[in-house]
Amino acid sequence: APSLDRAAGLAAAEAAGIKLTSPDRVVYPGQGVTKADLVAYYAAVAERMLPYIENRPLSLLRCPQGRSKYCFFQKHDTGGFPDAMKSLMIAEKDGQKESYFYITDLAGLIAGTQMNVLEWHLWGSRTKDVEKPERIIFDIDPDEGLGFEQVRAAAIDIRAELDAWGLESYPLVSGGKGIHVIAPLRPTTEWPEVKSFCKTFAQRLADKFPDRFTANSRKASRKGKLFIDYLRNERGATAIAPWSTRSREGAPVAVPVGWDELETIKAANQFGLADAIARAKRPDPWKGYFTTSQSITKAMVSSVAG
Ligand code: ATP
Ligand code: MN
Ligand code: MN
């Protein structure tokens, strides 16, 4: 697999007009990955990653001391970032407006990396119409002790159930323990209805396979089961971006995979930075994602509940 290239990272930062401070500071101690290496990583995968991340409200996991030290989620722009990290005002539930981050290009990814972002989390809608999601996600969360085979089987079942609703979906290995099954949508329907569809969809799946799944987030009901986390599908909720690094042991990446290769995958965190770069050079397993034209209609929302 190709290795990370410090010089390429420095060159990418310079081309983007971003001053990289402490480029040789180690951000992943276990792997010896530096800030400049991380810029090189994002430059190498940007073409694949940007279509998923550009023009979406973001939540950033920042780790100023590198992974394994103190990290924090930052939702609101309080200043201090390079200009390529942009922001827009979005109304909160109480009507108060707050500034949210978004990016439009590789310079944005580099600006975040300069500010020690190790994880990029995405809203389900775009900045031009934040009220209408253009994807749904079923985040499969296994209880302790469950194996990846069970996660994989769940992803395949979710795919089949979505297919029965006419929704094509794509699997993302999270870089942690689970798989996110993602269906792109045309932004036609607002959050409350989309959430309602997803909640009932997850509950019906749990009713169908009560020994394997739960749609209840309470710890007690998750014992020995997979939690179908449908709560990613509400206004303001986020999920990890495809191709984002994770601030976890082993420096894993959240990687798009194909349904046909899923059985060859052994763990949701098996892809490291170099693996992801190599995959970005191969044919896209999510080819078709952006030409998939589908939506959650009002008829579907009432039909899933009936
Ligand atoms: P895993 O596969 O290990 O579950 P994951 O990325 O799916 O990894 P979850 O804990 O299931 O992790 O969380 C799903 C998503 O919910 C996260 O990717 C993140 O976007 C969001 N999230 C979870 N916890 C927080 C938090 N404390 N603050 C902000 N967002 C969070
Ligand atoms: Mn999860
Ligand atoms: Mn979850």
22 CA to centre of ligand 3 in angstroms:
34
178 lines ligand 1 (CB under 6 A): yes
CA–CA dist 267, 260 (Å, integer): 16
CA–CA dist 236, 107 (Å, integer): 24
The residue behind tokens 């749990």 is 206
Could you tell me if residue 127 is inside a domain?
Answer: no
Which value does ipTM take for this structure? Answer: 0.94
Assess whether 143 and 57 both reside in one domain.
Answer: no
Q: Which one has a higher pLDDT value, 283 or 1?
A: 283
pLDDT beyond 80 at 3: no
By alpha-carbon position, which residue is closest to atom 27 of ligand 1? 73
Could you tell me if residue 267 is inside a domain?
Answer: no
pLDDT beyond 80 at 161: yes
- Enter the DSSP assignment of 194: H
| Type of residue numbered 34 | T
Assess whether 86 and 149 both reside in one domain.
Answer: no
pLDDT beyond 90 at 4: no
238 lines ligand 1 (CB under 6 A): yes
Could you tell me if residue 269 is inside a domain?
Answer: no
By alpha-carbon position, which residue is closest to atom 11 of ligand 1? 141
Q: Could you give the number of structural domains in the chain?
A: 2
Q: What is the band of 194 on the pLDDT scale with cuts at 50, 70, 90?
A: very high
Could you tell me if residue 254 is inside a domain?
Answer: no
Could you tell me if residue 156 is inside a domain?
Answer: yes
Please tell me the predicted confidence (pLDDT) of residue 274. Answer: 96
* pTM more than 0.90: yes
pLDDT beyond 80 at 64: yes
Assess whether 113 and 148 both reside in one domain.
Answer: no
- Enter the DSSP assignment of 55: T
Residue 180 CA: nearest ligand 1 atom is 7
pLDDT beyond 60 at 177: yes
- Count the neighbouring beta carbons within 10 Å of the beta carbon of residue 203: 18
Assess whether 141 and 89 both reside in one domain.
Answer: no
176 lines ligand 1 (CB under 6 A): yes
Report residue 65 as tokens: 């001391």
290 CA to centre of ligand 3 in angstroms:
25
Question: 62, 139, 248: which to mutate for ligand 1, most atoms within 8 A of CB?
Answer: 139
Assess whether 23 and 89 both reside in one domain.
Answer: yes
Please choose, from the candidates 198, 196, 180, the residue with its C-alpha nearest in 3D space to the C-alpha of residue 268: 180
CA atoms 71, 75, 81, 84: torsion sign = positive
17 CA to centre of ligand 2 in angstroms:
35
60 lines ligand 1 (CB under 6 A): no
Bridge partner list, 33: 28
User: In angstroms, what is the C-alpha Rg of the chain?
Assistant: 19
By alpha-carbon position, which residue is closest to atom 17 of ligand 1? 239
Assess whether 139 and 165 both reside in one domain.
Answer: yes
Please tell me the predicted confidence (pLDDT) of residue 306. Answer: 85
Assess whether 301 and 189 both reside in one domain.
Answer: yes
59 lines ligand 1 (CB under 6 A): yes
Assess whether 98 and 156 both reside in one domain.
Answer: no
SS (H, E, C) 88-128: EEEECCCCCEEEEEECCCHHHHHHHHHCCEEEEEECCCCHH
Please tell me the predicted confidence (pLDDT) of residue 39. Answer: 98
Residues, Cβ < 5 Å to ion ligand 2: 139, 141, 178
Residues, Cβ < 5 Å to ion ligand 3: 139, 141, 229
Assess whether 179 and 295 both reside in one domain.
Answer: yes
CA–CA dist 139, 254 (Å, integer): 13
pLDDT single digits (tens) 250-262: 999 999 999 999 9
Please tell me the predicted confidence (pLDDT) of residue 302. Answer: 94
Phi and psi at 293, nearest 5°, equal -115, 100
Task: Please calculate the CA angle 107-130-166 and round it to the nearest 5 degrees.
Answer: 105
pLDDT single digits (tens) 82-97: 999 999 999 998 899 9
The last residue of one of the domains, among 74, 96, 122, is: 122
The last residue of one of the domains, among 122, 143, 162, is: 122
The last residue of one of the domains, among 94, 122, 150, is: 122
Q: Which residues span the domain enclosing 94?
A: 6-122
Answer yes or no: are the C-beta atoms of 45 and 272 closer than 8 Å: no
Report residue 182 as tokens: 């993602």
Q: What is the band of 68 on the pLDDT scale with cuts at 50, 70, 90?
A: confident
15 CA to centre of ligand 1 in angstroms:
33
Could you tell me if residue 275 is inside a domain?
Answer: no
Assess whether 189 and 299 both reside in one domain.
Answer: yes
CATH of the domain at 200: 3.90.920.10
**Percent with pLDDT over 70 in the chain:** 99
Q: Mean pLDDT over all residues of the chain?
A: 96
Bridge partner list, 122: 58, 239
Assess whether 44 and 73 both reside in one domain.
Answer: yes
Query: How would you classify the pairing of strands 226-229 and 213-214?
Result: parallel
Could you tell me if residue 250 is inside a domain?
Answer: no
pLDDT beyond 80 at 305: yes
Phi and psi at 42, nearest 5°, equal -65, -35
77 lines ligand 1 (CB under 6 A): no
Could you tell me if residue 264 is inside a domain?
Answer: no
Please tell me the predicted confidence (pLDDT) of residue 1. Answer: 36
Assess whether 149 and 298 both reside in one domain.
Answer: yes
Answer yes or no: are the C-beta atoms of 173 and 255 closer than 8 Å: yes
Please tell me the predicted confidence (pLDDT) of residue 2. Answer: 46
| Type of residue numbered 31 | Q
Report residue 42 as tokens: 């994002």
